[in-house]
Structure 1
Amino acid sequence: MVGGRAVVVRVPATSANLGPGFDTLGLALSLYDELIVQALPEGQLRIEVDGPGAENVPRDASNLVVRSMAYAFEAVGRRMPGIALSTRIVIPHGRGLGSSGAAVVAGLLAAQGLLAGDVEFGPSLLLRLATELEGHPDNVAPALFGGLTIAWLDEHGPQYKKLLVHRGVSPVVFVPETTMPTRISRALAPLQVPREDAVFNVSRSALLIAALTQSPELLLAATDDKLHQNYRAQAMPATDQLVHRLREAGYAAVLSGAGPSVLVLADGPGRRLEAVRLAAAVTDTPWEPLLLAVDFKGGTVKEHSEDAQQPASHAS
């Protein structure tokens, strides 16, 4: 590692589950946290944070980006240097858009950049470390690799498959002012479900892959779910109301991750604008609509340069 080396990291927001794909499917979205990380003499730590929710982000070694960097350095047998971290937060925290997964991925990619030329971080190692830190691969896989990802665990650890999303799919996310801690939302999902509900979700998950990659007109049917959303509705009545009103009007609306944001997978830009108008009309709760694209690159890291643009190094 070059002393004083600095890198720029960019990581997309993600939406997990996408309705029926509980703990399996994830989608990268064009909303990004950006960081500049510089190596300092060992033992030094400087953290600057800007953006919504910055006041709640730790400025010490408990910072999730810093902890993830330390985890990566230890995993490859290298001593971590001192760190100067400058973060610009854009991904809302506690809203079901993968903010913690993005922080984990950002720390791992920063370590990858600082150790470039010394240690090789392949996709499998990045996904394994991210999953160990985050607990589940469904958010970190799209944050790392972009696009639509299918993630699963086997005897060799976490695995993923990246798919390209049909160009007709137009995401919009409705973000509320309120937050919902993921641990609370996850606790509402039952450990056991009826067999018919499991079969229902298997069929919808399979259909959802086809809808997102080939046939967007099937998105409404493909995003139906019986495993987790109805159970979580009790803790998020405004979210539940918006999802139901949008679906009743024919929009593929789902809980984004653990909530409370709502993701709509529209089958065209015009339909997305109609969903925004409808959401403004059917609820008294203020929702911020984010008209986004699917991110196809995933997280990137490049050498920091004040006066020149350099090509990004992708996780995939």
Structure 2
Amino acid sequence: MNLPLIDGSSEAHLSPEIIPVGTRVRVKVPASSANLGPGYDAVGISLAHFDELEFTRIESGLEFELSGEGAEDVPRDETHLVVKSMQRAWRAVGLMELPGLHIKAVNRIPHSRGMGSSASAIVAGVAGANEMLPADVRLDDDAMLQICSAMEGHPDNVAPSLLGNLVISYGDEQGWHSLSVPVHSEVLPVVAIPDYEVPTKVARGLIPENVPHHEAAENSGRAALLSQALSAAPEYLLPATYDLLHQSYRASAMRPSAALVADLRGQGYAAVISGAGPTVLVFARGAAERAEVTEAIRRAQQREAVGFHEGRRLNWRIEEVNIDTEGVMLSREDNAF
């Protein structure tokens, strides 16, 4: 379908009745980590850590049944990010009026921690809304990528949640483009999630407008190496995850996380800030090294630089997560009542 996706509108106008009452769609959407060191705003990876949502077409109204991470803090009206994303997808095909909708969500992706919670919400809304439509008016995968990227501002988190695997993205005058690349079986991620938040806007505001030419040039080489290290040559993961563009500038907003990255990299482990932080992501090589990384994080928590933030003891949640290879998963049930 050729649709004007950026403004989210279509010349056609569809009735909400195009989605029959009783239509139910279940969505399982993965977390993501962006940047991965030097791949700033261009590289992301899909992690097998999922939010699960269920959308049911009801007669009228907007109903919420929310639980899990951040459930108490999100709005329960049309300003909810998932609802806004669904509306954006529907408006792209000409459905301008929000149908009656019941939303059930179990959130497991932490908010404001650098694991793509907002991107996952956008992907869940767009993909779920699309699945509720009749097959002949649905958006294709590229159209969904354009809408999700426009809402998020760039594709580095939304593309992995849509497509799975390692995803490399770029933009041109035609829009956004993303390539999904399988990750080497030896690469096993570990995430260390602290109990403090760093808003993405704050983290982005710390990055300077200009960086020295030699740093940009070196970072380009590391970014080029990164895709090869993750897909085919994991022995290069440590040098491939070295960054000069953003992590050092953001360190003041997440000192314990920066200290943990430095500690782990000093021991030879490929540690990075996940997205805008403060979660730390480590790419271990094989099960034995993954166990080593987990123990190294536990030890590092005992150090004041890693274990304390603004005068209080931190709680670091350590999770051994796998690479997600599927991206967003959908199932549809008609006549659910």
**2:89–2:147: 8 Å Cα contact kept in structure 1?**
yes
> Deviations 1:224-263 (Å, cap 9, x if unpaired)?
0000000000111100100000000000000000000000
Q: 1:305 to 1:216 in 2, by over 3 A?
A: farther
Aligned partner letter, 1:184: V
Q: Distance in 1 between matches of 2:121 and 2:272?
A: 24
Q: 1:66-215, aligned counterparts within 5 Å?
A: 66-78=83-95, 79-215=97-233
Q: Distance in 1 between matches of 2:220 and 2:178?
A: 18
Q: Aligned-pair distance for 1:40?
A: 1.9
Q: Aligned-pair distance for 1:282?
A: 1.8
**Is structure 2 residue 64 aligned with structure 1 residue 47?**
yes
1:290 corresponds in structure 2 to 319
**1:172–1:263: 8 Å Cα contact kept in structure 2?**
yes
> Deviations 1:35-58 (Å, cap 9, x if unpaired)?
00011234x100111113211111
**1:48–1:59: 8 Å Cα contact kept in structure 2?**
no
2:27 corresponds in structure 1 to 9
**1:170–1:292: 8 Å Cα contact kept in structure 2?**
yes
Q: Distance in 1 between matches of 2:335 and 2:296?
A: 44
Q: Distance in 1 between matches of 2:231 and 2:158?
A: 20
Secondary structure of 1:22's counterpart equals strand
2:74 corresponds in structure 1 to 57
Q: 1:220 to 1:305 in 2, by over 3 A?
A: farther
Q: Aligned-pair distance for 1:3?
A: 2.6
Q: Aligned-pair distance for 1:304?
A: 3.9
Q: Distance in 2 between matches of 1:99 and 1:234?
A: 23
Q: Distance in 2 between matches of 1:54 and 1:3?
A: 26
Q: Aligned-pair distance for 1:303?
A: 1.0
1:310 corresponds in structure 2 to none
Aligned partner letter, 2:287: P
**2:29–2:329: 8 Å Cα contact kept in structure 1?**
yes
Identity %: 44
2:331 corresponds in structure 1 to 302
Q: Distance in 1 between matches of 2:243 and 2:218?
A: 8
Aligned partner letter, 1:49: L
Q: Distance in 2 between matches of 1:64 and 1:16?
A: 20
**Is structure 2 residue 304 aligned with structure 1 residue 275?**
no
1:314 corresponds in structure 2 to none
Aligned partner letter, 2:73: N
Q: Aligned-pair distance for 1:82?
A: 1.3
> Deviations 1:171-201 (Å, cap 9, x if unpaired)?
0000000011111111111111100111111
Q: Distance in 1 between matches of 2:140 and 2:332?
A: 18
Q: 1:266 aligns with which of 284, 296, 300?
A: 284
1:313 corresponds in structure 2 to none
Aligned partner letter, 2:257: T
Could you tell me the TM-score, scaled by structure 2's length? 0.89
Secondary structure of 2:137's counterpart equals coil
Aligned partner letter, 1:67: K
Secondary structure of 2:89's counterpart equals helix
**2:155–2:176: 8 Å Cα contact kept in structure 1?**
yes
> Deviations 1:75-103 (Å, cap 9, x if unpaired)?
11014311100000000111100000000
Moved more, 61-70 or 298-307: 298-307
Q: Distance in 1 between matches of 2:69 and 2:170?
A: 33
Q: 1:202 to 1:10 in 2, by over 3 A?
A: same
Q: Aligned-pair distance for 1:273?
A: 1.0
Q: Aligned-pair distance for 1:301?
A: 1.3
Q: Distance in 2 between matches of 1:81 and 1:132?
A: 23
Q: How many residues align?
A: 306
Q: Aligned-pair distance for 1:118?
A: 3.8
Unaligned runs of 5+ in 1: 308-316
Could you tell me the TM-score, scaled by structure 1's length? 0.94
**Is structure 2 residue 42 aligned with structure 1 residue 24?**
yes
Q: 1:88 to 1:164 in 2, by over 3 A?
A: same
